[in-house]
A and B are shown apart, each in its own frame.
Chain A
Amino acid sequence: MIPERFRYHRARSLDEALDLVAQAPGQARILAGGHSLIPLMKLRLAQPQWVIDVEEVAELRGIREEGEVLHIGAMTRYRELMTDPLVARDAPLLALAARRVGDLQVRNRGTVGGALCHADPAADLPAAALASDAELELRSRRGQRRVALGDFLQGPLTTDLKPDEVLVAIHVPRRPGWGVAYQKFPHPASGYAVVGVAAAIAAESGRVARVCLGVTGVGPRAYRAAASEERLVGTGLDPEVLRAASAVVTDGIAVNHDQFASAEYRRHLAATYAERALAAAWAAIQA
């Protein structure tokens, strides 16, 4: 399968990439790891006139500490998330989710920026990045803006990315000492999440001080399960509380259904996986 014709440009700097997307707004696509875009182009579901390869754009690379946050360049590959020592220390939830993505070859190519800008409702990283309170740094010729991931993700394959914008990096609060876990029920054929739940908990004197629960595969976009979070703060995460909080993890969500999993089954899976993720995150603090 061969994509429709397009013009290819390998940008050498962020400025060059921004110029190129500004010149052809709506006609140009950034090429990161290519593991969502190229399959779509082969199927001709995407037919951009321009493809801007950002492989060599140094400004999109690198993982570094910036005070309270970890700066993770948009071109960071899953493979790097899994092995980077700063991520392991300050944002290990991202590494846990990256490890569950696709297969080895996909993890060698796919990037943080591609996963978040593609916004597949069954992708793994969005759940973990939401539970990490990730903020996106977006740039265009018009300037720079920051947006919370929860506002950026709008629906299936739909985000707040403007046609002339490039995602430069994500910023996640550094949270050493939090207990984290990612629990995923992968689709047996595609490997994407039928349900994926990312949990992050901070404890204070044996009680839940803060909790963040990110859910993917269940609704039109990855989301934070606020109703569950509220029921958990201040508790000691006893089994009844855990069960009750997990039971409301799909409250207010239009739950997906397809040939593999009905809405009812997905709701059940989501509650079960939320319970497991929360229990594992809690156990990780105590360990």
Chain B
Amino acid sequence: MESTEDLVSISVTVNGRRYADQVEPRWLLAYWLRDRLGLTGTHVGCDTSQCGVCTVILNGQAVKSCTILAVQADNGTVLTVEGLAQDGTLHPVQAAFSEAHGLQCGFCTPGAEMLAVALLEENPHPTEAEIREALDGLLCRCTGYQHIVQAVALAAERKGRGA
């Protein structure tokens, strides 16, 4: 098995909390979040960089956590779906997904919501085409995307009204 000298120390702020750990360099960020931190909201779908279900926000940008090593996140800031709700209140994007039926089975939803959060952060008033472009890297087997797009639009509209 690996000797301790092969382990690397990392320190990553996840959902506002700092985690220090010793990791094998080959561990992927998705697995570190799920298996070491117990943050299983980040799902692994394809595990081959295609589906975007594992998307988290690393240093402000949406990334596929199955295609990033945990060591690459060292000194970084990660936001996962668990970090969206505050004090039991859903994040506006989550509330909009719930109300606009932006999900069916819910498997892709963490990735979809993180993409939506990243989009609205950068572009608070996206057009429908811009929403679809932002969701290009997400595969949903259920919804046909229509309701996901509507949910993101609803979140944007509310945000615009300062709700």
Q: Is A2 an interface residue (CB 8 A)?
A: yes
Q: Is A133 an interface residue (CB 8 A)?
A: no
Residues on A with C-beta less than 8 A from B157 are none
A105:B62 contact, CB within 8 angstroms: yes
| Complex Cα–Cα for A53 and B68 (A) | 12
Q: Which of B102-147 contact A (CB under 8 A)?
A: 115, 133-134, 136-137
Q: Is A35 an interface residue (CB 8 A)?
A: yes
Contact of A8 with B115 at beta-carbon distance under 8 Å, contacts A105-B63, A108-B61 already known: no
Contact of A2 with B49 at beta-carbon distance under 8 Å, contacts A38-B68, A104-B62, A104-B136 already known: no
Q: Is B92 an interface residue (CB 8 A)?
A: no
A105:B72 contact, CB within 8 angstroms: no
Q: Is B95 an interface residue (CB 8 A)?
A: no
A6:B48 contact, CB within 8 angstroms: no
B74:A39 contact, CB within 8 angstroms: no
Residues on A with C-beta less than 8 A from B90 are none
**Chain A residue at minimal CB-CB distance from B24:** A5
B25:A7 contact, CB within 8 angstroms: yes
Q: Is A34 an interface residue (CB 8 A)?
A: yes
Residues on A with C-beta less than 8 A from B136 are 103-104
Residues on A with C-beta less than 8 A from B134 are 104
Interface size on A, residues (CB 8 A): 27
B48:A39 contact, CB within 8 angstroms: yes
**Chain A residue at minimal CB-CB distance from B134:** A104
Which A positions have Cβ atoms within 8 angstroms of B? 1-8, 10, 31, 34-35, 38-39, 41-42, 51, 53, 55, 79, 102-106, 108-109
Name 7 A/B residue pairs within 8 A (Cβ), A-sorted. A2-B27, A8-B71, A35-B67, A42-B28, A42-B47, A55-B72, A104-B136
B29-66: CB near A (< 8 Å → 1, else 0) gives 00100000000000000011100100100000111100
Contact of B67 among A53, A55, A79, A109 (CB under 8 A): A109
| Complex Cα–Cα for A3 and B28 (A) | 9
**Inter-chain contact count A-B, CB under 8 Å?**
74
B63:A109 contact, CB within 8 angstroms: yes
Contact of A5 among B6, B52, B68, B72 (CB under 8 A): B6
The 7 closest A-B pairs by CB, nearest first: A103-B137, A8-B25, A103-B136, A3-B26, A108-B61, A105-B137, A105-B64
Residues on A with C-beta less than 8 A from B72 are 31, 34, 53, 55
Given contacts A1-B47, A34-B67, 12 further A-B pairs with CB under 8 A are A2-B27, A2-B28, A8-B8, A31-B72, A34-B72, A38-B67, A38-B69, A42-B47, A55-B72, A102-B137, A104-B115, A106-B137
B52:A2 contact, CB within 8 angstroms: no
Residues on A with C-beta less than 8 A from B47 are 1, 42
**Chain A residue at minimal CB-CB distance from B59:** A108
Q: Is B2 an interface residue (CB 8 A)?
A: yes
Q: Smallest Cβ distance from A75 to chain B, in angstroms?
A: 13
B69:A8 contact, CB within 8 angstroms: yes
Residues on A with C-beta less than 8 A from B2 are 5
Q: Which of B9-35 contact A (CB under 8 A)?
A: 24-28, 31
B6:A53 contact, CB within 8 angstroms: no
| Complex Cα–Cα for A56 and B18 (A) | 21
Q: Smallest Cβ distance from A93 to chain B, in angstroms?
A: 20
Contact of A105 with B71 at beta-carbon distance under 8 Å, contacts A3-B26, A6-B25 already known: no
**Chain A residue at minimal CB-CB distance from B5:** A7
